[in-house]
Each structure stands twice: as C-alpha cells, then as structure tokens.
Amino acid sequence: MAYIELKDVSYRYPYTKEQALKNVTYSFERGKFYGIIGENGGGKTTLCNLIRGLIPHFYLGRLKGEALVDGVDVRDWDTGEISAKIGYVFQNPFTQISGIKETVFEEVAIGLENLGVPKDEMIERVINVCEMLNIEDLVKNNPNELSRGQRQRVAFASIIVMDTDTLVIDEPTSQLDPEGTESVFEIIRSLKESGKTIILVEHKIDLIAEHCEEILVMQGGKIAMSGPTKAILSDFGTLDLGTMIPATAVFGHAMKEAGKPLADIPITLDEAVELVERRGE
C-alpha cells in the first residue's frame, strides 16, 4: 500500500513564474528504498520539501493536486507532527547543528526532548544511536567544533534517534570528502537493513545503484523516468535526461557494441565481476 502518494501535483515557489514541480504522480511504498536522481534544478529538492511537508507550510507558493502522507494531505498535517513521521537530513552539515547544545549527546537528544520522550528512554535511545553510527567517542564533544563529516553523522543521529517511519535524505554527501561519504553510506546501509522507507537524493550514481530499489529521474520538474534501479540505470536513454549511469553499465554497453555482450548489463561492480567471470567460463 502506498505510504506517500502524489496525485497530479504541481508547485510553484513564491515570486516565481516557472513551476518547480509539474503534474507529478507517484506512489512511495512503505519499507522501500527510493533514489531520486536528475539534473540540477530538476525538482529533486522540491519533491523532498513536499514529502517532508515543508511545502506548503514553510515554503508558501502555489500547490495543486494531492500529496498524501499516510493517507492525510500535507496541507492538513501539523508541521510538528509530520516531523515525527518523516525525518529529513540535507546537504549542509553546518546548518544542521542547532548551536544551542554543548555536547553531541545533548544535540542528538533535541528531537526527543521536543517530542516529550521520558528522560530514561531518551538516554537509552541516544546511547543506541551513538553506537549504531559510531559516534560514541564524540558524545562529550562540542557539536560546533566538529568536522563536516562528523557533523553530518551527528545530523543523521539526531534524526534517526526520532525513529521516524520514513527518512528523506537530500544529497547528504555533496559537501563531504570520500571518507565522509563512505561513513554516511555506512549509515544508509544500516538504515536500509532496519526496514525504513528511505528517499535519497544523490548524484553519486554508483552508490545509488548499490543501494536503491526504485529510481525516479527528475527533469524540468517532472518525473521523466521511474522504475526498478536495474531497469533505469542499465538504460542508455537515462543519459539523455541529464544524469549519469554507472561506469559498469557503460562497460556492459561497450562490450555489447564490441560484439562481446555480457549476459546482462551490470550496474554494480560486484555484478560486473560476476558477469565477466561467467562469460570467461
């Protein structure tokens, strides 16, 4: 059953003429991992803002169509209550730190304080999340003095601890170095195992290919293409939509063109190795 349902949704930001979303219709199912890719300005972040309820509550503008979260239109959701349902992590690790807490432990607990979680339970949940995200050594540190990567982990911890049904993650690695990126994807990997609904906007296509079950390609405010990850990322046509396909898929197509096709077009490194080995046999 669809958990988040968009029915012919169009949206225009205030003081703009161009629609940021145009007639978007899509259903997100509970427990699935979705990847959103596409060119800059394609509407990826706007779609996240809509699902998260920031549109129309924070960004006013003009919203048409229906956007249902757990059966209730985003217009009717209380902004506070929807944040207890859908977690949101975004690009900038600096602005995701509140600036009002003196230790990482307290920073992670902010959401639980706001939700009125009893203290003993709050402590237990923060301890568990810190262990899950390997930030145990940072708990006493001042969150304002952490590195970018560490801050992003703390931002993740602050949202994961709230135990929301869904997580919307908007380009979490765009400002991180390779080490920071890897540690963020480590977190995403463990979230996937926990069975949460995850909606991830990311440009690092190899990582998208490795983790996501379904892909949406956004272009000009529309969903230009959607479907299972394998089908989308092995299709050369995806390149025409202003996005990339994994290097392994390019390799698969090159092999095909060279008259030495693999049994399938690989989208991950593991798949490519397996297909090449099988071909060799």
Partner 1 sequence: MHVEFGNSFKKFYKTGNFWCDLYPTTKLILCFTVAMSTIVMNNWIYGFSVCLFYFIFAFFTGHGKQFTKTFLILFVIIGLFLVVIRQVGMRTGNVTPMFEIFGWIWYRESFITSLDVSSYMLGFAGGILLFFDTTPMRDLMYAFEHMGVSHVTSFIMLSSMQNIIDLRKTSVAILESQKSRGIETDGNILVRSKAFFPTISPLILGAFSSTEEKSIAMDARAFSVKRKHTFLRELKPMSQIEKILCLLFSLALISLTVWKIAAALIK
Binding residues vs partner 1 (CB under 8 A) = 52, 54, 58, 78-81, 83-84, 87-90, 92, 94-100, 102-103, 105-106, 109-120, 122-123, 126-127, 130-131, 136-137, 139-140, 144, 155, 158-159, 162
Minimum gap (Å) between residue 207 Cβ and partner 1: 22
Minimum gap (Å) between residue 226 Cβ and partner 1: 26
List, in order, residues 6 or more apart from 11 with CB less than 8 Å away: 19, 20, 21, 46, 50, 55, 56, 61, 62, 63, 64
Burial 66-86 (b: 16+ CB within 10 A, else e): ebbbeeeebeebeeeebbebb
Minimum gap (Å) between residue 157 Cβ and partner 1: 11
- Looking at the Cβ atoms of 112 and 223, the one nearer to partner 1 is 112
Minimum gap (Å) between residue 180 Cβ and partner 1: 18
Q: Is 24 exposed, middle or buried (0-12, 13-18, 19+ CB in 10 A)?
A: buried
- Looking at the Cβ atoms of 19 and 96, the one nearer to partner 1 is 96
- Looking at the Cβ atoms of 27 and 98, the one nearer to partner 1 is 98
Give CA–CA dist 241/168, Å, rounded.
Answer: 23
- Looking at the Cβ atoms of 151 and 211, the one nearer to partner 1 is 151
